[in-house]
Amino acid sequence: MRKPKTRRRKPYNTTERNLHMRRAAFVALVGTSAFLIAVTAQAQSPVSTRHWSGQGIAPVYEGFDINPDGTFNMWFGYMNRNFEEEIDVPLGPDNRFEPGGDRGQPTHFSTRRHKDVFKVVVPKDFGASTRLVWSITVRGRTESVAGTLNRVWQIDRLRTTRGGNSENINSNTPPVAQVAVDASTVSVGRAIALHVSATDDGLPKKRRAQEPAGMTVEWAKYRGPGKVAFTTVKQPVVDGQATTTATFGEPGEYTLLAVVDDGSGESAGNFGYHCCWTDVQTTVRVTGPAPARTTEAAAAVTFAKDIAPIFQAKCTRCHHAGTAAPMSLTTYQETRPWARSIRQRVASREMPPWHLDKTVGIRKYKNDLSLTDEEIEKVVQWADAGAPAGNLADMPRPQHFGPEDVWHIGKPDLVVKMDRPHKMYATGPDWWIDYFADTGLTEDRWIKAMEIRPGTRRIVHHVVTYAIEPDAPAGTPETGVQLHEYAVGKYGDTFNENTGRLLKAGTRIRFDMHYFAVGEELLDQSEIAFIFYPKDVKPKYEVRSLSFRNIPNDELEVPPNAVVRHDGYLRLTRPARIDAFQPHMHMRGRGMTLEAINLDNTVSVLSSVDHFDFNWHVSYLYADDVAPLLPAGTVLHIIGIHDNTSANRRNPDPAMWAGFGERSVDDMLQLWINVVYLDEAEFNRLVEQRKSRILNSEF
């Protein structure tokens, strides 16, 4: 057995933490709790939010303590800003100390905050102002921290510095722990047993009890070339003993870490102190061949075999003949001239138009058009290789589009067009005008999906439709109740299962139109399409479209050459399910985040658009099994970012002040949501149903 190295620090979180975070994510979606710690994704970002992946690592200097021989221990930890992604950073230019290079730092970084992970011993004459710098580079961004022996950084690692008294100053001390392994060498894929033995002073005690809180041990990879799977990541230490097994995915040398906590560390939320837990490291050498990998060069990416299937799944619904798209992408001959432009738009995630930050909040949407990282890489490789056609025999079966396929929602049951066309002059100010149309309905119908389509997109800024119902209840506006909205690039709305909107017999539609001049006289006759439930079907839930914004409007101020933030709020007066999220901003809009402020004052991030595009007002439709369920009293909070600088390529003039207004050159901060209000009994039933389904499927 190898003699272990012993260090003390706060528990090291791995898979157990990921399970906890997935449970927390579920709870956040039903609106009763949320994550515990807010994360600043980038130092320069105006918005702090929580990311599942894609973020970096901040090295942290915790402080120093003094050894009996007068040398010093300088303690370091880190913050992995991701909630799910664990990161490996090998020793070298991306993970280094100055001076020293390798100072015993980890190369594997688990999610979130980890205190006092390792120490660097420096001599007694190191000097109070001498700097020891740890730098970590992730995704091209380097973050550094400089540790010194300035007296303000002195800590006590041997006893708790809170809760003691003059009669018992050592009121709690760390466990004494050792690790033993069954063998110091093991083969790839073979399990090896790891044993912990530990003793403790019996402190702290459980609340309202005299028995000790009890020790736990948590295992993690600290260094090593491959993945490590533990049969049990976190477990109680019973009668001073605990055992797990580890299996290794690659040959090489691994350092494993066992963190023994006496109940006063992370389990007590004790982020502010430096006691009482103990780290124990052990080293295992793994032999044998690495998992089989192909040694042949990757096959060339071709249009027929690789690109056409991607385009058919995500692009050709819009990019086929007869649509408003600027080119068709259904064949190689149509696509090849655009290869360079396609590469640029795909690599920058401008196309397909899906502007959500995938590392934040809810990640399942029923209308998701986005490409995966692997699909983006294929498109880039194909374009960089000269856009080869490949073997046409590899082409997927051709798609066939009919006239109804110009509708994103599918073939409509009813199309209602403005009662007359509008002629828009070539030059002049924006124009707002109402048009009307009869639906022709002779019986009530429940709407499953609806979509507005401008007759001439070039001159239509937006359309808001209203339903003017016969015999409407007292107090209903004569101008009707809001039905549906179109802004540039919106796909339409398809409602969740068993959810709809009632369109009554005899209803008239009011088209609230906003036009703008484009240099030539053009005609428009916009229309709205409906897909209905079968006549004998009445959906259980009725959905309504709501919008809210920052108020008052005159507080929306976007000064010249500035990036600014504004906020808006909406309190839910009844339990609700949120089915869709659609940000609305104008040319200076850069991003919008929707949060739920929960009843316990925690915050859950629901969705975040981080690269808003005024040309695409996408309505993001939550998948049925993740649509947020929120109790009455929850506050919906929108955070909007406007960029009035030259870095915003859509900015009409960064030297101009902008404020609230209807024109494209003015701006807005407004969010459209589809909401289903629920009674308490139904809300509680849906919460329990979802909880049961998620826990059974994942845990």
Supply the CATH number for residue 466's domain. 2.60.120.310
Q: What is the pLDDT of residue 276?
A: 83
Name the DSSP class of 298: P
Domain presence at residue 636: yes
Q: How confident is the model at residue 384 (pLDDT cuts 50, 70, 90)?
A: very high
Residues 399 and 417 in one domain: no
Query: pLDDT at residue 5 above 60?
Result: no
Instruction: Specify if 161 maps to a domain.
Output: no
Domain end residue (candidates: 127, 153, 179): 153
pLDDT of 22 > 90? The answer is no
Percent of the chain surpassing pLDDT 90: 66
By the 8 A CB rule, do 293 and 321 touch? no
Residue 615: per-residue pLDDT? 83
Range of the domain at 494: 411-542
| Res 2 pLDDT > 90 | no
The pLDDT of residue 618 is above 70: yes
Question: How sure is the predictor about 405, in pLDDT bands with cuts at 50, 70 and 90?
Answer: low
pLDDT at 166 over 60: no
Q: In 289-430, which ranges are E strands?
A: 414-417, 422-424
- 462 lies in a domain? yes
Q: Quick one: tokens of 298? A: 């990757």
pLDDT (tens digit, 9 = 90+) per residue, 465-481?
999 999 888 888 889 99
Higher pLDDT, 170 or 143: 143
Higher pLDDT, 586 or 11: 586
Q: pLDDT tens across 340-378, in order?
A: 999 999 998 889 999 999 899 999 998 898 999 999 999
Distance between CA 516 and CA 494 in Å, rounded? 29
Structure tokens at 26: 């579920």
3-state secondary structure of 680: helix
* pLDDT of 527 strictly over 90: yes
> Pairing between strand 499-503 and 541-542?
parallel
Confidence grade of residue 404 (pLDDT, cut at 50, 70, 90) = low
In this structure, the answer to whether residues 654 and 571 fall within a common structural domain is yes
The per-residue pLDDT for 121 is 97
| Among candidate residues 375, 431, 451, the one with its CA nearest the CA of residue 618 | 451
Alpha carbon of residue 353 to chain centroid: 17
Q: What angle do CA 633, 635, 638 make, to 5 degrees?
A: 165
- Buried/exposed code over 218-233 (b: 16+ C-beta within 10 A; e: otherwise): bbbbbbbbbebebeeb
Among 522, 542, 562, the domain-final residue is 542
Least confident of 42-51, 344-353, 385-394, 623-632: 42-51
Mean pLDDT of 57-75: 96
On whether residue 17 sits in a domain, the answer given is no
Question: Confidence band (pLDDT; 50, 70, 90) for 202?
Answer: confident
> Are both 529 and 606 inside the same structural domain?
no
The CATH code of the domain that includes 564 is 2.60.120.230
In this predicted structure, what is the pLDDT of residue 27? 41
Residues 563 and 468 in one domain: no
**Residue among 1, 415, 17, 44 at smallest CA distance from 180:** 1
Burial label for 76, CB within 10 Å (0-12, 13-18, 19+), is: buried
Q: Which residue has the higher pLDDT, 615 or 19?
A: 615
Separation in Å, CA 82 to CA 24, 54, 57, 78, 108 = 14, 7, 8, 12, 13
> Is 345 inside a domain boundary?
yes
CB 378 within 8 A of CB 288: no
pLDDT for 58 equals: 96
Tell me what pLDDT residue 699 has. 46
Read off the pLDDT band of 286 (50, 70, 90). Answer: very high
Mean pLDDT of 458-471: 91
Which pLDDT value is given to residue 97?
Answer: 97
Mean of pLDDT values over 541-562: 91
Whole-model pTM: value is 0.77
CA dist., res. 482 & res. 546, Å (int): 9
Which helix (H) or strand (E) segment is 499 a member of?
Answer: strand 499-503
Pairwise CA distance, residues 102 & 255, whole Å: 14
Q: Are 569 and 627 members of one domain? A: yes
Task: Tell which wins on pLDDT, 390 or 266.
Answer: 390
pLDDT of residue 474: 86
Q: Are residues 515 and 570 in the same domain?
A: no
pLDDT score recorded for residue 331: 93
Residues 420 and 393 grouped into a single domain:
no
User: For residue 38, what is the DSSP state?
Assistant: -
Distance of CA 400 to the CA centre of its chain: 35
Number of domains in the chain: 4
pLDDT at 172: 81
In a domain, 237, yes or no: no
70/145 same-domain check: yes
Residues 556 and 659 in one domain: yes
Structure confidence at residue 407 (pLDDT): 85
Q: Are 603 and 596 in contact (CB under 8 A)?
A: yes
Within-domain flag for 569: yes
Count of Cβ atoms closer than 10 Å to residue 392 Cβ: 13
* One domain, residues 375 and 435: no
Identify whether residues 582 and 491 lie together within a single domain: no
For the chain, the average pLDDT equals 87
pLDDT for res 162:
55
| Token couple for 385 | 């290789």
Domain boundary among 381, 405, 429: 405
Percent of the chain topping pLDDT 70: 88
The C-alpha atoms of residue 660 and residue 81 are separated, in whole angstroms, by 35
pLDDT exceeds 50 at position 281: yes
Note whether 624 and 664 are same-domain residues.
yes
Whether 674 maps to a domain, the answer reads: yes
Mean pLDDT, residues 330-342: 94
In whole angstroms, give the CA distance from residue 590 to residue 442: 45
User: Which of these, 409, 396, 329, lies nearest to 366 by C-alpha position?
Assistant: 409
Confidence of residue 216 (pLDDT cuts 50, 70, 90): very high
Q: In this model, does residue 549 exceed pLDDT 50?
A: yes
